[in-house]
A and B are shown apart, each in its own frame.
Chain A
Amino acid sequence: MDALTPRRLRLINQICWTLALCVAAIPFLFPFIWMVSSGLKSANEIFGSPSIVPRAWQWQNFVEVFSYQPFARQYFNSLYIALTVTAATLLVSSLAGYALARLRFAGSALIGLFLVSALMVPEEVTILPNFFMMRRVGFIDSHWPLILLPVFGPQGIMATFLMRQYFMAVPRELEEAGKMDGLSRFGVWWRIAVPLSRPALAAVAIITFLNSWNLFLEPLIFVSSLEKFTLPLALSNFTDPYGAPLWHLQLAATTLAVVPILIVYVIAQRQIVESFALSGVKG
């Protein structure tokens, strides 16, 4: 009866928890592994064996992906759109967030309430009129809607409130000192408030970038030509002439789209998770 000292009990307890967590992690982790492994299999093998290691490594899948449709171009589209949206959101939301946090003017509270009311409204509600508007100005089958709608939509407003929250915590004294030194309002914002708000800017950048990178409904509705597709649209577009998915290509392409993001995520895990926590609590 020497077995169950408190220390041993704790150890056993911990081992049980760890085992349970390992089992729970399978459906979260395995799809990624299966994606990579199946992307390396041939069209024949892909349904043949449930083995994780491909029998013959089909590296040419990753070449074929680029010849089947303009995948490089589509990849570039996603990248430049996400970067543009991120830059524009940072600029617009930090300007507005600063005004809401620092400047006193009649109607400030009302404007805040007004904007916040939009946060929860799904984009499906306004997508039809936005479609007709974009059509009128000739933006159909262009990237303009994919840039404008996220920057000024709920995502942009959430960014504004994130920035506002952070600006409110910047010590006023620093800004006063800046004013004493002769900085204009714009100068105070650009030289003092913005540099001090790097953590908030980083959070906004991370969430905005991912949001744009993963955007689906807008590309589906506004873009029709292959060279203008973004990644989420392109991935399911690897099909045979009858529309049945060519899985080996779909999964190879998906691997190419997902793995870089995952690598960045693993490196900057803490920062990324915190950004989401910040925005989630606000919403």
Chain B
Amino acid sequence: MGQPATMAARAQRNDAPWLTLKMREAMEAWLFLSPTLAGFLIFFVAPLVAVLGYSLTEWNLLSQQATFVGLANYDDALMRNADFWHVARNSAVFALGLVPLNMALALLLALALSGRFRGVVVFRTIFFAPVVTSAAAWAIVWKFQLQGEAGFINQVLAGIGITGPNWLREPNWAMAAVIVTRVIKMVGLNMILYIAALQAIPRDYDAAARLEGASGLQIFRMITWPLLGPTTLVIMVITTIGSFKVFDHIYLMTGGGPENGTLVLAFYIYQQGFEFFNVGYASALAMIMFVIVMALTVVQLALRRKDT
């Protein structure tokens, strides 16, 4: 085809002279955006409105159809149903365990791996490998290693004279196991974000501080850590919100058990909606989750604005 002659193309393109250039540009923009916007409206906005609508109805296997009940589902979740607060507590424990552990480990690894030395790429590759592995595979392998007596972890512990618990069958240990295995899976992501931030700090800072006689720890406290502030904030919010989304990992490792000890909000929504078919109640839970995540996002934006 090649390039057509300039004049001819110009003439051809001006076949709608009633359109100003500006209008043409706007039309083109909407055309380019149309698939994304259509999909956004159909698969995000409409469902969001719908879930709000569902949440105001009673709709379950018995009723088979939706009847308007106002805020009864929210009242049920927040005031009457002890399950909800148990789940909320689990989600909080999960987040409070996962986020600090993940961030501390990520920072430590990043500090160790932000420099250049032999083997640094190998280590980075290893620590990041679980991130590209599917949660399903990771959960299966860890569930296998954490089997009661015969599991690998407990055999190793037995070897040094410790009787390990039946990790995934005792509520508290199960929660700990889920948190730790999740941290191992995802810490690589935060590690590389921290490495990128560390490498962006000019070397002169470090050199100048050393000339002044500052120790490594002082440099970290007075220079590195404050400079990492914005990154830390972003990582904190992403990781916290991410922790609310965790479903597959828990579904496959513990199935929410034992005794609902690892039943978190995302799982509870799935359970109520798709296993028990309490559509109204599950939708109210979904709206609660939506509000929590939005609140966290707003907090992040506010903090970020204050920061800059």
A-side residues, CB < 8 A to B, are 14, 17-18, 20-21, 24-25, 27-29, 31-32, 34-35, 38, 47, 50, 91-93, 95-96, 98-100, 103-106, 108, 111, 114-115, 118, 120-133, 148-149, 151-153, 156-157, 160, 180-186, 189, 210, 213-214, 216-217, 220-221, 231-233, 235-236, 245, 247, 250-251, 254, 257-258, 261-262, 265-266, 269-270, 272-273, 276-277, 280-281, 283
- Please pick, from B32, B51, B125, B188, the residue contacting A189 in the complex, using a CB distance under 8 A: B32
**B134 and A269 contacting across the interface, CB-CB below 8 Å:** no
Cα distance A254–B141 in the bound complex, in angstroms: 8
Cα distance A17–B123 in the bound complex, in angstroms: 12
**B134 and A232 contacting across the interface, CB-CB below 8 Å:** yes
Complex interface: stretch among B8-16, B171-179, B220-228: B8-16
**A99 and B290 contacting across the interface, CB-CB below 8 Å:** no
Give the residue name and chain of the A residue nearest to B50 (CB).
Answer: A129
**B133 and A258 contacting across the interface, CB-CB below 8 Å:** yes
Main secondary structure of the interface of A (DSSP, over half): helix
Cα distance A109–B253 in the bound complex, in angstroms: 43
**A280 and B44 contacting across the interface, CB-CB below 8 Å:** no
**B184 and A272 contacting across the interface, CB-CB below 8 Å:** no
**A31 and B121 contacting across the interface, CB-CB below 8 Å:** no
Max count, chain B CB within 10 A of own CB: residue among A28, A29, A103: A28
CB distance from A246 to the nearest CB of B (A): 11
**B75 CB-CB contact with A under 8 Å:** no
Additional 19 contacts, C-beta under 8 A, given A105-B29, A122-B266, A265-B132: A18-B119, A25-B127, A92-B35, A96-B36, A98-B32, A99-B28, A100-B33, A121-B294, A127-B270, A129-B47, A129-B51, A149-B43, A157-B36, A183-B9, A185-B28, A214-B135, A250-B144, A262-B133, A280-B192
By a CB distance below 8 angstroms, the chain B residues around A31 are 130, 138, 141-142, 145
**B293 and A120 contacting across the interface, CB-CB below 8 Å:** yes
Cα distance A152–B36 in the bound complex, in angstroms: 7
CB distance from B52 to the nearest CB of A (A): 10
**A232 and B248 contacting across the interface, CB-CB below 8 Å:** yes
**A124 and B269 contacting across the interface, CB-CB below 8 Å:** yes
- Please pick, from A131, A269, A276, A281, the residue contacting B121 in the complex, using a CB distance under 8 A: A269
**B109 CB-CB contact with A under 8 Å:** yes
By a CB distance below 8 angstroms, the chain B residues around A120 are 241, 293-294, 296-297
By a CB distance below 8 angstroms, the chain A residues around B84 are none
Cα distance A105–B54 in the bound complex, in angstroms: 36
By a CB distance below 8 angstroms, the chain A residues around B282 are 128
Given known contacts A133-B47, A152-B36, A269-B125, A99 and B29 CB-to-CB distance under 8 angstroms? yes
**B245 and A34 contacting across the interface, CB-CB below 8 Å:** no
B-side residues, CB < 8 A to A, are 3-6, 8-10, 13, 22, 25-26, 28-30, 32-33, 35-37, 39-40, 42-44, 46-48, 50-51, 54, 109, 112-113, 117, 119, 121, 123-138, 140-142, 144-145, 147, 150, 152, 155-156, 159, 184, 188-189, 192-193, 196, 234, 238, 241, 244-245, 247-248, 251-252, 265-266, 269-270, 273-274, 279, 282-283, 286-287, 289-290, 293-294, 296-297
By a CB distance below 8 angstroms, the chain A residues around B13 are 182, 184
CB distance from A216 to the nearest CB of B (A): 4
Give the residue name and chain of the A residue nearest to B132 (CB).
Answer: A265
**B8 and A266 contacting across the interface, CB-CB below 8 Å:** no
**B144 and A38 contacting across the interface, CB-CB below 8 Å:** yes
- Please pick, from A96, A115, A121, A233, the residue contacting B35 in the complex, using a CB distance under 8 A: A96
CB distance from A144 to the nearest CB of B (A): 11
- Please pick, from A35, A114, A133, the residue contacting B141 in the complex, using a CB distance under 8 A: A35
By a CB distance below 8 angstroms, the chain B residues around A47 are 147, 150
Cα distance A247–B144 in the bound complex, in angstroms: 7
By a CB distance below 8 angstroms, the chain A residues around B113 are 21
**A126 and B51 contacting across the interface, CB-CB below 8 Å:** yes
CB distance from A73 to the nearest CB of B (A): 17
**B134 and A257 contacting across the interface, CB-CB below 8 Å:** yes
**A221 and B36 contacting across the interface, CB-CB below 8 Å:** no
Given known contacts A21-B112, A221-B274, A281-B196, A103 and B247 CB-to-CB distance under 8 angstroms? no
**B238 and A235 contacting across the interface, CB-CB below 8 Å:** no
**B54 and A128 contacting across the interface, CB-CB below 8 Å:** yes
By a CB distance below 8 angstroms, the chain A residues around B248 are 216-217, 232
Give the residue name and chain of the B residue nearest to A29 (CB).
Answer: B126
**A214 and B25 contacting across the interface, CB-CB below 8 Å:** no
Given known contacts A152-B39, A235-B136, A182 and B9 CB-to-CB distance under 8 angstroms? yes
By a CB distance below 8 angstroms, the chain B residues around A266 are 125
CB distance from B108 to the nearest CB of A (A): 8
Instruction: Please name the 7 residue pairs, one residue from A and one from B, whose CB atoms are nearest each other, closest first.
Output: A152-B39, A182-B9, A232-B136, A129-B47, A216-B248, A129-B50, A105-B26
By a CB distance below 8 angstroms, the chain A residues around B152 are 34, 50
Cα distance A254–B143 in the bound complex, in angstroms: 13
**A273 and B144 contacting across the interface, CB-CB below 8 Å:** no
**A235 and B140 contacting across the interface, CB-CB below 8 Å:** yes
